[in-house]
Chains A and B, each alone.
Chain A
Amino acid sequence: MSGDDPRFLERLRAGEPRAFEELVIACQHRVFGVALRMLGSRAEAEEVAQETFLRAHRALGAFRGEAKLSTWLHGIAARLCLNRLASGERRLRREDPEVLERVASAGGDPADELERSETQAALHRAIAELGEERRLVVLLRDVEGLSYEEIAEALGLELGTVRSRLHRARMDLKEKLERFLG
């Protein structure tokens, strides 16, 4: 899938099932990853990721293509995550950061994993302890690789707000990971 491919967008807008399938295949891991690290639960992350694609499927006909498809999807997923986190009905089933790490690094070399386990556990814990809005910005920037402008567009924020939140998040992480940074 190429998010900026006009023909692909046309197929999506026309409701072509195969095009939607390509979109899900291409973006599933990124959308799921953001949801997982925001919510801390694989089950909830899958629910949110699935809902993200279903909402996109319903709205594809009105998608104008002003943003990248991936940015658009990240924006939907981010709103769903924040809504769920703000909901009082949310079930408290966050998983241990080490579990998240194993999920994230599944398939890696076990020896390397053992060597990195302590740092990785501390990193996941530090990310999980960030405030929700800062966590979301740093994930979109440093894990998903979105630009400042894309983050601002996805989250509906001013560019300065994105920059500020991102810096605060990184500074928090530096403080929490001080002993692993030499």
Chain B
Amino acid sequence: MCEKKIDEIIEKYRGQPSSLIHALVEIQHENHWLPREVMHRVADALAVPFAQVMQIASFYKTFSLTPKGRHEVHVCTGMTCHLRGAAKLLERVEELTGLKAGETDADSRFTLDTGACLGSCSIAPELIVDGKHYGRMTPDKAEAVLKSYE
């Protein structure tokens, strides 16, 4: 299913080198990561050097060059969240998942990410799993939240 979608995206942008970022964003959104072989196909179809595709893919942190887990766990590390205890929350989440930011576990259950400010600073510190916000989190509440995700 994903393969077909990726083909469609590549075809949509064939011959349009200036749409490289758009193409990669759509593939990332669809596939949750950018396999090397797919990047070669993008390079060929969009007439862009492969090195440039790799450069863009490694530059922007929205792109993942490794497969992601079923659930994306995000700990906001924006300034307000930081002032209100995000570091301790992150420590606990790292403990619970066994992951550091950017990593995925061996069972492909979780991918952990940190990043800045999603604009809901009033409910800092925040844990966001698959886009769902868990605000005013404390380290001891983290376990219950993560347990609910298989």
Is the A/B pair a real complex? Answer: no
